[in-house]
Each structure stands twice: as C-alpha cells, then as structure tokens.
C-alpha cells in the first residue's frame, strides 16, 4: 500500500505519518517526488495503514497490486538515478555505453579493450574476474589478479568498472575494487547473495535470470532493496525460449515493461542476448531505440582466441563503428551517449 500525501504536506506532517506507521509495526519508505510525496508501506499487514487515510495530510491510500514494493513505480513515481563511479549516471538522459571482454584474460587483452571503450565514448568497462561457466572444465577467470587488472585499466583510461560476484566471499573482494557489482543470470535467485548485496554500498547490475519472469526479476531487485541498497540497475540479457538460432531470445519488450512497472534503470546486453557477434549491432541499436538506459557488450581484441564467449564478442573496430551508430540512435530519441 502507498499513502499519497497532499501536495502541501510539510516535513512535520510527513514525519507524523512515518511515526504512526511505525507505531503500527509497519515500515515507511518516503519518496519525495517532483509532483508529490508518496509514503510506501512495508510489512506483513499493510492493511493496518488504511486507517491513516483519515489524516488531513493524506490524500489517498492506494493498494499496491504487485508483490514487489520498493522496486515498484507506485512506491517511487520518479525515475531512480543510479550513480556509478564519479561520472556515470544511469536513468537520466545519458545512455550508458558499457563494454569489455567477457573475461579478463591478460593485461594486454584488457588494456586494448579498455582503450577501445574510451575511444568509442564508453564510460564503463566490463570484464569478469570470477566467471560462472556452464562447464567446470572451462576457464574460470583470473580471480583476484583479474580485479587488479581492472583497477589498473580504470586508472589508465578513466573508466568505471563493473565485474561479477558469484558468491558472498567473492562479493567482498569485488565490492572493494569495482564501481558496480554484477550479479549474473545464474545467480538472480541466489537469495543469500542478493541479501548480501543489500548490505553493501555499491550499485548492483542485476541480470535477468535465464528463465525468469519480469516479476521474479523485480522480486530479486526487491531482495537487494529491502536490505537497504536501492542502487539497482536491471539488465535484460535474453531468456531461454524454444528458439535455437540465437543463444537466448533478447526480450526487448522488457525495456518498456520494466519502465512501466518500476523506477529502476534498465540496460540491454545484446551479446548474451543473441550469442553471435553478427546480431549484436542490430539488437544494440534496437535496445537504444527501445529506450534502454544503457547497453553492455562483449568486445575482444581477437575474438577467435577469446577464452570465453568469443563467438558473441565484437572485434574492436566493429565495436567502435557500432558506438558511433548508437550515438546517432540516442540522439534521434533525445538522449545522448
Ligand atoms: C557475463 O556477463 O559474462 C555473463 C556471464 O552474463 P550472464 O550472467 O548474463 O550469462
Ligand atoms: Mn560472457
């Protein structure tokens, strides 16, 4: 349930609503929007808050029909801005260009990719140090050494870095170094890891699970937010369908659906979404056109020698040409990269 306050409600009147809710054993989440202030009610028995509709500063009590609350548009009518590093903001006019190798493999490989990201006008460097591989015999990532290399690349090229944490131990190490922590598709419903993300003060890039519905995905975001960390960016990376010509089916309709249901920024990953570098460009352009707040792509100085996800990685010149096209698409819809 949310309580919509009158536009002239002052700070003391807002505080009174919060006190009254807490006295009922409920939790309040106050969202001061441009238009109006909304108090979201959290707890087991939110029905108890209906009585507060009688207060003069409360205009209306409205039930929230979704099981997620903090992630819902009702609780927070304005778009949420998520800051990453010193210069990057998700959820505003900027479309954030994020790219890098699937896995950090070597200093040479990472620096070449980072240089290309910077040259293309990208602001976030991706790269896995801990890799969730389908087979236990595949390359598992460089671990801490990979984090060190990401840190060096950040300093050399002035980029923010995002990298995946696969478990709670890895989360501690990643959160110390990275500007943004990625939670991968396979871990989208790892609830203890999500709770741990809720306790840290770093933005989270929450990828959609391989077979997750949008509601399950938003509930995963809710786990993080319920722990106190509201800096969540959602990432559509394709879902598993009956189609086999692509690795996954990139659900671009998730972009407007998420923007309708939630205030959280959403980015698109056309690399995992298609699995083939030839399809990455068209789907990246489509993602920007659909209104995504960013695009994340895999690139490699020599894709044929990549230790993971080579077939879906763009080489550097192709990526840089695509970046120029994405800028034009962004501009066409009143945004910029
Ligand atoms: C990745 O970003 O390299 C990755 C493993 O992505 P996902 O979790 O979406 O499969
Ligand atoms: Mn990958």
Tens-digit pLDDT profile for residues 108-122 = 999 999 999 999 999
Ligand nearest to the CA of 309: 2
| Ligand 1 site residues, Cβ closer than 6 angstroms | 102, 128, 132, 184-186, 207, 237, 272
**Res 197: pLDDT:** 98
**Res 44: pLDDT:** 87
The rounded distance, in Å, linking the Cα atoms of 184 and 237 is 10
**Res 84: pLDDT:** 98
**Res 163: pLDDT:** 98
β-pairing, 58-62 vs 2-5, is antiparallel
**Res 262: pLDDT:** 98
Q: Which atom of ligand 1 is nearest to the CA of 309?
A: 3
**Res 319: pLDDT:** 98
Question: What is the rounded average pLDDT of the residues 194-211?
Answer: 98
**Res 286: pLDDT:** 98
**Res 127: pLDDT:** 98
A 10 A CB-CB count for 216 gives: 15
Residues 258 and 264: beta-carbon distance below 8 Å: yes
Query: How is residue 209 annotated by DSSP?
Result: P
Q: Which atom of ligand 1 is nearest to the CA of 132?
A: 5
Rounded to two decimals, the pTM is 0.96
Q: Give, as residue ranges, everything with CB less than 5 Å from ion ligand 2.
A: 102, 309
Question: What is the rounded average pLDDT of the residues 181-210?
Answer: 98
Q: If you average pLDDT over every residue of the chain, what do you get?
A: 96
Show the CA angle centred on residue 232, arms to residues 34 and 68, nearest 5°: 80
pLDDT above 90 covers a percentage of the chain that reads 95
Domain layout of the chain by residue ranges: 2-62, 82-332
52-55: which pairs have CB atoms within 8 A and are 24 or more residues apart?
Answer: 52/3, 52/17, 52/20, 52/21, 53/3, 55/13, 55/16, 55/17, 55/20
Which residues have CB under 8 Å from 85's CB, separation 6+? 123, 124, 154, 159, 160, 161, 179, 180
Give me the residues paired with residue 84 across strands.
88
Question: What is the rounded average pLDDT of the residues 279-285?
Answer: 98
Centre of ligand 1 from the C-alpha of residue 272, in Å: 7
Question: What is the rounded average pLDDT of the residues 268-295?
Answer: 98
**What is the residue with the minimal CA distance to atom 3 of ligand 1?**
102
Q: Is 90 exceeded by the pLDDT of residue 220?
A: yes
The rounded distance, in Å, linking the Cα atoms of 120 and 324 is 7
- The CATH code belonging to domain 82-332 is 3.20.20.70
**Res 35: pLDDT:** 81
User: What's the pLDDT band for 168 if we cut at 50, 70, 90?
Assistant: very high
Closest by alpha carbon to 217, among 229, 206, 225, 230? 206
Q: State the Rg of the chain over Cα.
A: 21
Closest by alpha carbon to 198, among 160, 173, 227, 162? 227
**pLDDT tens digit sequence for 311-329:** 999 999 999 999 999 999 9
**Res 13: pLDDT:** 95
Report, at the CATH architecture level, how domain 2-62 is classified: 2-Layer Sandwich (3.30)
Residues 142 and 180: beta-carbon distance below 8 Å: no
Q: Which atom of ligand 1 is nearest to the CA of 238?
A: 9
**pLDDT tens digit sequence for 40-85:** 999 988 888 899 999 999 999 999 889 999 999 999 999 999 999 9
Centre of ligand 2 from the C-alpha of residue 54, in Å: 53
**What is the residue with the minimal CA distance to atom 4 of ligand 1?**
184
Torsion of CA 208, 1, 46, 32, to 10 degrees: 90
């Amino acid at each position: 349930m949310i309580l919509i306050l009158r536009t002239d409600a002052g700070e003391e009147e807002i505080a009174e609503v919060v006190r009254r809710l807490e006295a009922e054993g409920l939790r309040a989440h106050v969202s001061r929007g441009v238009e109006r202030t909304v108090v979201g009610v959290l707890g087991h028995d939110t029905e108890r808050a209906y009585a507060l509709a009688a207060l003069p500063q409360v205009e209306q009590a409205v039930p929230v029909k979704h099981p997620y609350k903090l992630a819902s548009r009702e609780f927070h009518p304005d778009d949420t801005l998520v800051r990453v590093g010193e210069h990057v903001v998700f959820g505003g006019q900027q479309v954030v260009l994020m790219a890098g190798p699937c896995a950090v493999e070597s200093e040479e490989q990472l620096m070449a990719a980072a240089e290309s990201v910077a040259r293309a006008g990208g602001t976030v460097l991706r790269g896995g140090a801990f890799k969730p591989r389908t087979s236990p015999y595949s390359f598992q990532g460089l671990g801490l050494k990979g984090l060190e290399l990401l840190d060096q690349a950040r300093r050399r090229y002035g980029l923010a870095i995002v990298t995946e944490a696969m478990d709670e131990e890895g989360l501690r190490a990643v959160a110390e170094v990275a500007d943004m922590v990625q939670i991968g598709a396979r871990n989208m419903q790892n609830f203890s890891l999500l709770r741990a993300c809720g306790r840290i003060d770093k933005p989270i890039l929450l990828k959609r699970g391989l077979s997750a519905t949008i509601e399950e995905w938003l509930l995963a975001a809710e786990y993080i937010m319920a722990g106190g960390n509201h800096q969540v960016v959602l990432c559509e990376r394709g879902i598993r369908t009956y189609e086999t010509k692509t690795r996954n089916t990139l659900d671009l309709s998730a972009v407007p659906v998420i923007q309708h249901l939630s205030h959280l920024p959403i980015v698109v990953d056309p690399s995992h979404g298609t699995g083939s570098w030839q399809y990455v460009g068209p789907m990246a352009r489509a993602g920007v056109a659909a209104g995504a707040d960013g695009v994340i792509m895999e690139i490699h100085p020599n894709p044929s020698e990549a230790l993971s996800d080579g077939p879906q990685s763009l080489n550097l010149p192709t990526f840089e040409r695509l970046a120029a096209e994405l800028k034009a698409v962004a501009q066409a819809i009143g945004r910029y990269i």
